[in-house]
Amino acid sequence: MDLVREAFHYQSRFAGSTMVFKIDFPVTAEPAFPSLVKDLALLAQTGFRIVIVPGAKEWIDSVLTEYGIRSRYINSENHNSIRITDARAMPFVEMAAFHGAARFMTALSANHCDSVIGNFVRARGLGVLNGQDMEHTGRVEKILVKPIGKVLDLKMAAILPCIGWSASGKPYNVPSGEIALAAAGALGAIKLFIVSAEIPAGQNNVKNLRLTPKEAETILELNKDPGALPDLRLALAASKAGVERVHIINGREEGAVLRELFSNQGAGTMIYTDEYESIRPLETQDIPDILRIMEPLMRQGILIRRSVEDIQEKKEDYWVFGIDGQAHACGALHKWEKQGEIAAIAVDGAYADMGLGSRIVRFLVNQASKESLSRVFVLTTQSHDWFETLGFTESTPETLPEERRKFYNPERNSKVYVLEL
């Protein structure tokens, strides 16, 4: 039941928005592929604007091998290894690219979802790199947003194969990662999904990793091999290009896209643009500000009374939302065994309804997740409805950690709301 509730919440939040799916070619041969396409069809039918960028690399490799054409590659600063697509290879590359795209069209149509494979990408040749003529290897010049928009308006999925055409109609082989990146940016996609064949089946350690671009950058820096983690590299580039949320999903895992979209738990690695950048640890000089914010709420009994000393004592647990250097909202995460208590959420009245409160809560949930806590809970007398909108569900004082239960005040009779992580 909770799952259905969560799903409705996210459905209404995202419906009508554009999502781009870059899907590795080997995923199309996985047992999970039919259900992935079924989910994409469902999303398109329920009002999401679905853009698919099929990868074709492995299929191009096999077609070229079959026809006795050896691919040559070049390493460049930005691209790890790019295929030099010469005139002989190009017709085979086109054939392979459209074969990859057709797999999606066929599978979508079996799920009553129409789609259009189109020349939605204007490309330009890479020209000569380090003395090497790149011939038919190109890059995105622009994404043709209007025709894609028309297709999406009809609730059809738009499929962008890894081919782009120059203004004069010359075809170029363009890496699908670049097309996905450019399409997500140009279409104002709220999400880019990178459906990867790189993650081994059953591998769980990438689950629920929530990274800021800075954290992703650190991981990539630590990994000296420039060719390593191409999905993470692409995700970071997309996030820097303004895509709010980029998800790397295991293409072998059934239902991963829906889980990532419609549950609080998520299902893969996510890079989010740093909406939390204004949130920082509490400093001693913030205490008067946050007490000023809390005072009317404490007077009304909405928050329990806290003194300077109370806050100072647990200073490490507190975070503030700073605007122009001044704290305008706050919140705390207290740890009790494997659970986290979200407390002292308060927003300056002058900054109400601007999303500060929910951002602080999401931030604290994310912190709890990073610290491998199993759930977070909150005790509230008057804000339970608000916590419900953030995915929390009602529980009972009996479920509180033993140490915390000792301090539960039956007279105050706070409601207990929880979020499993």
For binding to ligand COA (CB under 6 A), which residues are involved?
A: 297, 302-303, 343, 345-347, 352-358, 378, 380, 382-383, 385-386
Residue 188 or 355 having the CB closest to ligand COA: 355
Sign of CA dihedral 345, 348, 349, 350: negative
Q: How far is the CB of 208 from ligand COA (least distance, A)?
A: 23
Could you tell me which residues come within 8 angstroms of residue 406 by beta carbon, excluding any fewer than 6 positions away? none
Residue 141 or 388 having the CB closest to ligand COA: 388
24 SS3 class: coil
Residue 101 or 356 having the CB closest to ligand COA: 356
Q: How far is the CB of 343 from ligand COA (least distance, A)?
A: 5
Q: How far is the CB of 13 from ligand COA (least distance, A)?
A: 11
Residue 150 or 280 having the CB closest to ligand COA: 280
Residue 105, CA distances (Å) to 37, 100, 125 in order: 10, 9, 28
Q: How far is the CB of 333 from ligand COA (least distance, A)?
A: 11
Residue 114 or 388 having the CB closest to ligand COA: 388
Contact 56, 71 (CB under 8 A): no
Residue 82 or 282 having the CB closest to ligand COA: 282
Q: How far is the CB of 245 from ligand COA (least distance, A)?
A: 18
Could you tell me which residues come within 8 angstroms of residue 125 by beta carbon, excluding any fewer than 6 positions away? 134, 135, 136, 137, 138, 166, 170, 172
CA–CA dist 37, 257 (Å, integer) = 10
Residue 179 or 297 having the CB closest to ligand COA: 297
Q: How far is the CB of 358 from ligand COA (least distance, A)?
A: 3
Could you tell me which residues come within 8 angstroms of residue 384 by beta carbon, excluding any fewer than 6 positions away? 392, 394, 415, 417
Of 264, 267, 265, 263, nearest in space to 252 by CA:
267
Residue 303 or 368 having the CB closest to ligand COA: 303
Which residue is closest to ligand COA by CB? Answer: 357
- Produce one character per residue of 108-124: b if its CB has 16 or more CB atoms within 10 Å, e if not: beebebebbbeebbbbb
Q: Which residue has the tokens 């804000």?
A: 383
46 SS3 class: coil
Residue 178 Ramachandran class (φ > 0 left, ψ -120 to 50 alpha, else beta): alpha
Q: How far is the CB of 40 from ligand COA (least distance, A)?
A: 29
CA–CA dist 121, 145 (Å, integer) = 9
Q: How far is the CB of 331 from ligand COA (least distance, A)?
A: 7
**Residue 113, amino acid:** C
Residue 139 or 362 having the CB closest to ligand COA: 362
Q: How far is the CB of 147 from ligand COA (least distance, A)?
A: 35
